[in-house]
Amino acid sequence: MESKINRYSKQLILINSLFIIIWLVVSVFPFIWTFWGSFKVKADFFSRADWMFAVTGVNTLIETGDTSTVKAYVESWTEGEFWKATLNTIIITISVVTISLFLGTLGAYALSRSTYKYTFWILIAALIFRAMPHITLVSGYLFPFFQLNVWGILPTTIIVLVAINQPFTLWLLYSFFKTVPKELDESALIDGCSYFQAFRYVIMPVMWPGVITAGLFSMMLAYNDFTVTSLLLNQQNYTMVPKINAYLGTIEHSGNYMWAVSSVVSATAPLFMIIMFFQRQLISGLTAGAVKG
Amino acid sequence: MPHKTFFWFFFPSGLAMLLFIGLPIISSFFQSLHIEPEQILMEVEKCDPFGCKTETKVDIEATTKLQEEQPLGRFNGLGTYGDRNHLAFEEIKEAWGNSSSMSEFIDILLNLPFYKALLFTLTFCFAVTPPVVVLGFIVALSINTLTKSLKGPTIFGVILPMIVTPLIGSLVLFWMIDAKGILGATIQYLFDDPNLSLKSSSQLTWITLIIYGIWHNTPFAFVVFYAALQTVPQDPIEAAIIDGASRYERVRHIVIPHLYPVATFIILICLMDNFRVLEPIIGFAAEGVAQSLSWMIYNDLRSENKMLFGSAGATSMLTIIGVAFLLTPVLIRTWREFRTER
């Protein structure tokens, strides 16, 4: 029931819409601009003469015979070996999500069902671990990993990312498990299930929303990571994000600045699509820790 | 749940955290107590038809041997913490004795690498957080008034800057702000100065980085505020309407007090996350004028053949102390929440 006074005045609606439109432009325009520019040549995207060249593609027309080109994409994927980086990202992301969820659901279920005081201290420890800057952890890994000869390969990075991801996954799933009534697994236990059976056949089937949310966050962490992947992987095993950074830095690619631009688009597009699909879960996860009820 | 069952359920997750978060911190500390071995020099006499010269050369064989014997280098105690690249005790003492005025002393102090990085890190943290909270709140209020069909797509657009990794986000902005990009060119046109570039002075670079920080962090504040707005009780608002309160008064006296705890949560998370700022500095190629604590560690570790484990370890420990300061309020808050729950 909306009372008459509660309706918004015309002025307010106008200011409001204007503000939202401006804010949307600020948030979205950079991505549209980069997407559009990735089909141009460098002389257009970074035009000294006139930035309108990036829209119209004057130099692109001169250099390639058309106003837009996929040259940068083709070159970065083949010559720049971006396909390899993509493959590595896919392997790392899938492994991290699977292992994180497996460990996280088990741990968080135990934390939510135990009534002893140590669960509180474990959760506090997890909170402290979550606050550690990743780079300080990496500085601790490098030396032992060199000594053990496990530096530079994918499995090491996967385990490290899983571990770094655990504190957040535990907290998130813990708050989801808390919303599942205890009576549910208690009745299963009375019927003769073991704890693991109760967890597997009674609790997990009603936990899918929480699991999807936690999986989404694990995915974003693994997919987006730069600190860990750039320092723990060797150049051949780079994932997308450090690969893009490598395109920018090295001298041999200096002429191919557009490789980085097109790779940014290649790396961002799948992520945006996934988020578009799972937006609701993402938001519910972000707020789980902040808002009660 | 019995202890034994709990143990087996929690064991894999706990082991992963202990091995890859707990141990590295200890390993970092251990590294910080050591310093890279010095290169062993030897004198070589080189003779050619025009005479003989003695040259000092690195004795590669002996150096490698020493490195194999002591891969971590020699024990240095807390020496690394006090050297020029970290807390720089001697340099400070000297500057204190030699500088004639306070401002001169501060000048010298802020040119020391560690203090320079600390200043940037703290400036970044405390300049980004307040606008993020205010903007996030305003965006949440605005979007909350939209009709339902518009909400979904709008929210998707608004959260994009948060989803992309900071490196990509900063690159996307950097390419626009570049003197040859759309924003950079427009700014030059507006100020009628063809040499104006956001990279030209350190202040402008800092401002660019801070603007990036606000752009990247506001969606997070928005999402949390937006969710909290859904839980604002309707009864007091209706009562206020009946009493004739304006929309502004309702927001000021009912909505904002309800959101205070959420705002503190956002502030704390924002401070903690921005304290580790690293990727934007790389993305904006701002290493020259803006270094953060994380960047110092990254810089020590990135060259593959000569990593400075000791130096990186010491900076890591100092960073962790900084994080501990920021973390204390969060811990107190969690502690209280737990106590009220039980």
Residues 18-47 of B with CB under 8 A from A: 19-28, 31
Same domain, B63 and B174: no
Touching check for B13 and chain A: CB below 8 Å? yes
Same domain, B47 and B137: no
**Residue A144 pLDDT more than 80?**
yes
| B62 vs B321, more confident | B321
Question: Does a structural domain hold residue B213?
Answer: yes
Touching check for A113 and chain B: CB below 8 Å? yes
Determine the average pLDDT of the residues in A277-285: 78
β pairing state of B41-48 and B74-75: unpaired
- State whether B156 and A291 contact (CB < 8 Å): no
How big is the CA angle at A124 (ends A121 and A129), to the nearest 5 degrees? 125
Same domain, B82 and B203: no
Touching check for A175 and chain B: CB below 8 Å? no
**Residue A2 pLDDT more than 60?**
no
Same domain, B332 and B315: yes
CA of A65, closest CA in chain B: separation in Å?
23
- The answer to whether A232 touches A161, Cβ cutoff 8 Å, is no
Q: How far apart are CA A228 and CA A222, in angstroms?
A: 10
- State whether A27 and B28 contact (CB < 8 Å): no
- pLDDT number for residue B48: 72
Following DSSP, what letter does each residue of B133-148 receive, concatenated? HHHHHHHHHHHHTS-H
Touching check for A272 and chain B: CB below 8 Å? yes
- pLDDT number for residue A67: 73
The torsion region of residue A151 among left (phi > 0), alpha (psi -120 to 50) and beta comes to beta
Same domain, B184 and B138: yes
Same domain, B222 and B282: yes
CA of B30, closest CA in chain A: separation in Å?
9
- pLDDT number for residue B168: 92
Number of domains composing chain B: 3
Question: Does a structural domain hold residue B204?
Answer: yes
- State whether B171 and A260 contact (CB < 8 Å): yes
User: Alpha-carbon torsion B264, B266, B271, B276, what sign?
Assistant: positive
Q: Of B262, B309, B334, which has the smallest distance from its Cβ to A143's Cβ?
A: B309
CATH number at residue B286: 1.10.3720.10
Instruction: Work out the pLDDT band at A102, boundaries 50, 70, 90.
Output: very high
Contacts of A259 in chain B (CB under 8 A): none
Contacts of B138 in chain A (CB under 8 A): 19
- State whether A132 and B21 contact (CB < 8 Å): yes
Give per-residue pLDDT as tens, A52-81: 777 777 777 777 777 778 888 888 888 888
Touching check for B319 and chain A: CB below 8 Å? yes
Q: What residue of A is the nearest CA neighbor of B333?
A: A124
Instruction: Work out the pLDDT band at A288, boundaries 50, 70, 90.
Output: low
- pLDDT number for residue A3: 46
**Residue A46 pLDDT more than 80?**
no
Touching check for B105 and chain A: CB below 8 Å? no
Question: Does a structural domain hold residue B24?
Answer: no
**Residue A240 pLDDT more than 70?**
yes
Question: Does a structural domain hold residue B191?
Answer: yes
Q: Of A16, A45, A104, which has the smallest distance from its Cβ to B13's Cβ?
A: A104
Determine the average pLDDT of the residues in B326-342: 78
- Among A182-191, A217-226, A227-236, B46-55, the minimum mean pLDDT is found in B46-55
Touching check for A12 and chain B: CB below 8 Å? yes
Same domain, B165 and B61: no
CA of A10, closest CA in chain B: separation in Å?
13
pTM (2 decimals)?
Answer: 0.86
Same domain, B161 and B198: yes
Task: Scan for tokens 């004739």, then name that residue.
Answer: B244
Element (H, E) at B253: none
Question: Does a structural domain hold residue B43?
Answer: yes
Q: How far apart are CA B312 and CA B306, in angstroms?
A: 12
Element (H, E) at B35: strand B34-35
Mean pLDDT over the full length of chain A: 84
**Residue B318 pLDDT more than 80?**
yes
Tokens linked to B64: 């490698």
- pLDDT number for residue A287: 66
CA of B106, closest CA in chain A: separation in Å?
28
Same domain, B96 and B171: no
Instruction: Express as a percent the part of chain B with pLDDT over 70.
Output: 94
- pLDDT number for residue A49: 65
Domain that holds residue B91: 78-105
Give per-residue pLDDT as tens, B32-59: 888 876 666 777 777 777 777 777 777 7
Instruction: Work out the pLDDT band at B15, boundaries 50, 70, 90.
Output: very high
- Per-domain boundaries in chain A: 10-70, 75-288
Exposure b/e, B292-323, CB count within 10 A at least 16 = b: bbbbbbbbbbeeeeebbbbbbbbbbbbbbebb
Q: Cβ neighbours of residue B166 under 8 Å, at least 6 residues apart?
A: A226, B216, B278, B279, B280, B283
Q: Which fold is adopted by the domain A75-288?
A: MetI-like fold (1.10.3720)
- pLDDT number for residue A58: 74
Same domain, B199 and B217: yes
Instruction: Work out the pLDDT band at A156, boundaries 50, 70, 90.
Output: very high
Question: Does a structural domain hold residue B65?
Answer: yes
CB pairs < 8 Å spanning A and B: 278
Instruction: Work out the pLDDT band at A94, boundaries 50, 70, 90.
Output: very high
Question: Does a structural domain hold residue B7?
Answer: no
The number of beta carbons lying within 10 Å of the beta carbon of residue B77 is 11
CA of B274, closest CA in chain A: separation in Å?
10
How big is the CA angle at A228 (ends B39 and B274), to the nearest 5 degrees? 105
Question: Does a structural domain hold residue B42?
Answer: yes
- pLDDT number for residue B1: 78
Give per-residue pLDDT as tens, B249-269: 888 888 888 888 888 888 888
Touching check for A282 and chain B: CB below 8 Å? yes
- pLDDT number for residue A255: 57
Q: How far apart are CA B67 and CA B62, in angstroms?
A: 9
What crossing angle do the helices spanning B3-17 and A82-113 adopt, rounded to 10°? Answer: 150
Mean pLDDT over the full length of chain B: 84
- Among A96-100, A189-193, B55-59, the minimum mean pLDDT is found in B55-59
